[in-house]
Amino acid sequence: MTHKLKTLISSDELKCPKCGHPHIWKKYETINALEKMDMKKKLLKNEIFQFTCEKCAFKAPLTYNSLYTDPKKNLMIYMAPVMETEVDEKLNELNSLQKGGTKRLVDNINDLKEKIMIADNHLDDRVIELLKIAYIGRIKKEMEDDNMQDILFDYNGGQLWFLLFFEKKGIGRMPLDLEHYRQIERQYRMGILDQSRDDFMKVDLEWAGKVMFRR
Ligand SMILES: [Zn+2]
């Protein structure tokens, strides 16, 4: 049973970090995707959690504590740029509101968007992170003279892929093989269960490493 957490938006003042121009900051404290489909679309298009100065045109991601919930998918994702006591308390509160379901913790907007897109494709982000490790192993040669800064799931229609962000070479794309996904899912089933709990979990490459290289 999913608790009905309603969309909540508050206002605050925010000065442009570049020119100091004052702004009204619309803070999306809770986004309920089922209730506000348009808000979800805006989030995925980078129209939310983005600061744009009307005076000097300065743009920057605006990351702050925010809950994304999709009751239909039994999904809650909490974005907290910094782990602090306040966040712990909030997560405890949400935990007691809802037992079960998928609960995730992220610290930036790209990861939040990625989790939403993975869920939209009915995939398991835990398997996706494991698959990333397998795919990174394939591109060892490319990494010899470059640094990979990020790897993110992305899709368009039925086409799934990983976006690879290299320091020098820029953005690359690797098609995601669903057969490989299923194989990873089977192979690490026990390890995945072992590293999962009914709480807000940070599921990233570090988490996947614990599953893949556990003794
Ligand atoms: Zn400005």
Per-residue pLDDT of 50-96, as tens digits, reads: 999 999 999 999 999 999 999 999 999 999 999 999 999 999 999 99
Burial class (CB in 10 A: 0-12, 13-18, 19+), 58: middle
Is the C-alpha dihedral spanning 32, 38, 39, 45 positive or negative?
positive
Question: What is the model's pLDDT at position 2?
Answer: 53
Tell how far the Cα of 147 is from the centroid of ligand 1, in angstroms: 32
Give the list of residues 6+ apart from residue 157 with CB closer than 8 angstroms, or none: none
Contact criterion met (CB below 8 Å) for 53 and 19: yes
Determine how β-strand 8-15 pairs with β-strand 159-166.
Answer: unpaired
- Token look-up 């599921």 returns 203
Q: Which residue type is seen at 163?
A: L
Question: What is the model's pLDDT at position 4?
Answer: 74
User: Where do the H-state alpha helices sit in 45-144?
Assistant: 85-97, 109-120, 125-138, 140-144
Tell how far the Cα of 55 is from the centroid of ligand 1, in angstroms: 5
Tell how far the Cα of 12 is from the centroid of ligand 1, in angstroms: 17
Q: Which residue type is seen at 42?
A: K
Is the C-alpha dihedral spanning 124, 126, 132, 133 positive or negative?
negative
Tell how far the Cα of 102 is from the centroid of ligand 1, in angstroms: 39
Give me the residues of the chain with pLDDT under 50, please.
1
Tell how far the Cα of 48 is from the centroid of ligand 1, in angstroms: 18
Residues 68, 178: Cα–Cα separation, whole Å: 27
Question: What is the model's pLDDT at position 215?
Answer: 60
pTM higher than 0.75 for the full model?
Answer: yes
Contact criterion met (CB below 8 Å) for 117 and 109: no
